[in-house]
Amino acid sequence: MNWSGGKDSALALYHALLDPTLHVTDLLTSVNAHYGRVSMHGVRVALLEAQAQRIGLPLTKLELPEMPDMALYEQQMRATLAPLQAKGIQRAVFGDIYLEDLRHYREQQLAQVGMHAVFPLWQRPNADLLREYLDLGFRAVVVCVNEKYLDASFCGRLLDEDFLRDLPAGVDSCGENGEYHSFVFDAPYFSSPIPFQRGELVRRTYQAPASTTTDAASSEDAAPASSPFVTGFWYCDLLPAEA
């Protein structure tokens, strides 16, 4: 399971666990090795590990430098997948919804190493996904917003009906274009909720290297970004807390 820790990967895992044709054995997450945080989301590795512990699946971390080029990203991804393949894993599950170029990229890269991609949420209407997310009892906090779409006031909020109602016109409600990213702190398959505290809001800018057709800001766990333009993001730092 390609696990970003956000709502889409969490909901995709829910469906993968119910699918009798799948047997989910491992979580795989891209992390910024320098800062010890989930790539793009900015969530501390300690909280990522808390998710894996409550799910009850082993976690593999794809450790990357802050801004890897595509060649390095793909090289390290293949190296990280190799021991998983050696365990007999043949498929990789993703939480993508409708970005065709990203799906094609994933399928193409996995085909090169003899693996297949699975997309449990593919082309389901946003309203259906969000209704299911809320009705099943998932709970998440918004940890990153792209300032092209949302201002800093949206960062650190609970991902609930009030948040969705306040989204400006033109913003994808599932954040599929990279408008926002989230951290799931409770899910139907968690052994218990994850306690945390909200820390400071931090603004960071990125100038992405060119050389690929995908944009890391467009998905919860995508390849490194392709746009040469500088983009600003607001992050809400979450601090692990004792229950």
Q: What's the pLDDT score for residue 225?
A: 43
* Within-domain flag for 1: no
Q: Is residue 88 part of a domain?
A: yes
Which CATH number do you get for residue 35?
3.40.50.620
Q: Does residue 33 belong to any structural domain of this protein?
A: yes
Question: CA-CA-CA-CA torsion for 213, 130, 126, 180, nearest 10 degrees?
Answer: -30
Please state the φ and ψ torsions of residue 80, each to the nearest 5 degrees: -75, -35
Range of the domain at 77: 7-240
Q: Total domain count for the chain?
A: 1
Gap between the Cα atoms of 15 and 2, Å rounded: 13
What is the reported pLDDT for 51?
98
Predicted pLDDT of residue 149: 97
In tens, the pLDDT along 184-195 reads 999 999 999 999
| Any domain includes 105 | yes
How much is the mean pLDDT over the chain? 91
Dihedral of CA atoms 115, 121, 125, 129 in degrees, nearest 10, equals: -160
Residue 209 has pLDDT above 80, yes or no: no
What is the C-alpha to C-alpha distance for residues 129 and 9, in angstroms, rounded to an integer? 12
Predicted pLDDT at 204: 93
In a domain, 164, yes or no: yes
Is the residue at 233 inside a domain? yes
Higher pLDDT, 158 or 213: 158
Q: What is the pTM of this model?
A: 0.90
Residue-wise pLDDT for 21-57, tens only, equals: 999 999 999 999 999 999 999 999 999 999 999 999 9
Residue 208 pLDDT more than 90?
no
